Amino acid sequence: RQAVAILRQLHEITGRYSLVFAGANPERPMSENTINKALRLAGYEGRQTGHGFRHLLSTELNGRGYNKDWIERQLAHGDSDEIRGTYNHAAYVEQRREMMQAWADSIDAVCAGANVVAIKRKA
C-alpha cells in the first residue's frame, strides 16, 4: 500500500515521462550513481550504497524467516532453471506481496517510534 501511494505521488511529478525515476535524459533511467551521491550528501559515505539496500532487505527478510525463494525472486534474482525463470515472472507473487507489505508496515512502525533501538557508533 505504501509503495503504491508513493508511486501515485511521484506520478504527479513524473507522469509525463515513461520512467518514474528518469535520469537527466528522461528516456533513460536514473543512474545508481545518483542514489549513491544522495547517500554521500546525506552523510552515509562509506556506510551505505544504493545497492546495499538490497543486502539489507535480504538479510532482514531472511532473519525474519521468510522463504528464501520468495526473497530471491523479490530481488529479481534469476531461477537456476533459465527456461522456467524466463517465463515465470509471477513466481510467488502473492507471498511476495504479503512479505513486502509486512516489511513496509515494519518501516512505518519504526518511523512512528515503535521498537527503536539506539545504535552507538564507535568513536
Positive or negative: CA dihedral 14, 16, 21, 24: negative
Q: Is the separation of the CB atoms in 104 and 4 below 8 Å?
A: no
pTM here is 0.74
Domain boundaries, the chain: 51-111
pLDDT at 86: 53
Q: Tens-of-pLDDT digits for all 123 residues of the chain?
A: 999 999 999 999 888 889 998 888 989 999 999 999 999 999 999 999 999 999 999 999 999 999 999 999 999 876 666 555 555 667 899 999 999 999 999 999 988 987 655 555 554
For position 98, what pLDDT does the model report? Answer: 95
For residue 29, what is its C-alpha cell? 533511467
